[in-house]
C-alpha cells in the first residue's frame, strides 16, 4: 500500500470519526432537552456521587468550553464544562457521573487508570513526532543506503506503538467509568428510567469516539510498520 492507500485510509478513518463525533453532539443536544425531575444540576450530581462513594478530597469545578469535561488526578478535581456544571438534564447527569467515575477509579487505584497515567508523560512527548520520525528514517534510509535510517524509523514505530497502546488502554478506563456512573445513577434512583435511558445512550456514543481513535491509531501503526519492515529483504 503506497501513499495513495495511506491517504485513503486516513480519509476513511477521519470520515468515521467525524460521523461518530457528529452523532455524539446530536445525542447530547437531544438529551439536553430531557430535564431531570429531581431538578439537580450536573455539579450537584457530581458532588452527590462523590459523597456516596466516600470521596471527600475531590473538588467539582467549572471549566470553559463544550465537551471539555475531565477528571484531573493531579489536583483531584472533577472539571465540568459550563453547560454540564449548571444544566439540569440527562446529558449533564451522564457526563457529571462519568467524570466522577474516574474519581472513583482513582480512589480505588483502578489498574488500567494507573497504567494510563504512567504513559501520559511519555505519550504527550512522542505521539506528535512519531510519524515524522518514521518518515524521516525511511527517507534517510533510501537516500543514504545505510542502516541508520532503518533504526530511526524503528524508533519512530516504537513511539507510535506507545501512542497506540495508550489509545487501547484508554478504552477500559472510559468504559469502566461509564459503567460506574450508570450503576450509581440507577441504584440510587437519582434519575428516572427515561432519564437513565438517555444517559446510557449518550455515554455509549461518547465511548465510541475512543474506540474509533484506537482503531485509527492501530491502522496507522500497521501501515507504517509495513513500510518499514516490508521494504527489507
User: Which phi and psi (to 5°) does residue 58 adopt?
Assistant: -115, 130
Active-site residue, selected from the candidate residues 44, 47, 99, 174: 99
pTM of the predicted model, to two decimals? Answer: 0.88
The helix or strand, by DSSP H or E, that contains position 11, with its residue range, turns out to be: helix 3-31
State yes or no: is 99 an active-site residue.
yes
pLDDT tens for each residue of 97-115: 999 999 999 999 999 999 9
Count of C-beta atoms within a 10 Å radius of residue 63: 16
- pLDDT for the residue numbered 5: 75
Polymer length in residues for the chain:
233
- pLDDT for the residue numbered 103: 97
Q: Could you tell me the three cell numbers for 223? A: 501501515
Mean of pLDDT values over 55-73: 94
Q: How confident is the model at residue 142 (pLDDT cuts 50, 70, 90)?
A: low
Least confident of 8-17, 18-27, 48-57: 8-17
**Are 87 and 94 contacting, i.e. CB atoms less than 8 angstroms apart?**
no
Amino acid at each position: 500500500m503506497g501513499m495513495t492507500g495511506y491517504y485513503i485510509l486516513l480519509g476513511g478513518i477521519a470520515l468515521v470519526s467525524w460521523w461518530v463525533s457528529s452523532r455524539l453532539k446530536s445525542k447530547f443536544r437531544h438529551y439536553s432537552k430531557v430535564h431531570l425531575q429531581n431538578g439537580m444540576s450536573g455539579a450537584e450530581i457530581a458532588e452527590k456521587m462523590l459523597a456516596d462513594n466516600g470521596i471527600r478530597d475531590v473538588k467539582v469545578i467549572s471549566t470553559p468550553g463544550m465537551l471539555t469535561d475531565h477528571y484531573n488526578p493531579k489536583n483531584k478535581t472533577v472539571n465540568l464544562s459550563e453547560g454540564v456544571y449548571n444544566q439540569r438534564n440527562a446529558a449533564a447527569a451522564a457526563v457529571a457521573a462519568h467524570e466522577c467515575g474516574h474519581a472513583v477509579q482513582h480512589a480505588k487505584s483502578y489498574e488500567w487508570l494507573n497504567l494510563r497515567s504512567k504513559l501520559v508523560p511519555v505519550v504527550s512527548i512522542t505521539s506528535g513526532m512519531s510519524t515524522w520520525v518514521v518518515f524521516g528514517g525511511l527517507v534517510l534510509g533510501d537516500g543514504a543506503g545505510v542502516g541508520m535510517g532503518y533504526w530511526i524509523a524503528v524508533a519512530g514505530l516504537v513511539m507510535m506503538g506507545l501512542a497506540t497502546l495508550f489509545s487501547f488502554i484508554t478504552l477500559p478506563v472510559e468504559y469502566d467509568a461509564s459503567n460506574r456512573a450508570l450503576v450509581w445513577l440507577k441504584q440510587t434512583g437519582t434519575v428516572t428510567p427515561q432519564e437513565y435511558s438517555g444517559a446510557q445512550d449518550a455515554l455509549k456514543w461518547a465511548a465510541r469516539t475512543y474506540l474509533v481513535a484506537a482503531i485509527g491509531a492501530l491502522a496507522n501503526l500497521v501501515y507504517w510498520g509495513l513500510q518499514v519492515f516490508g521494504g527489507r529483504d
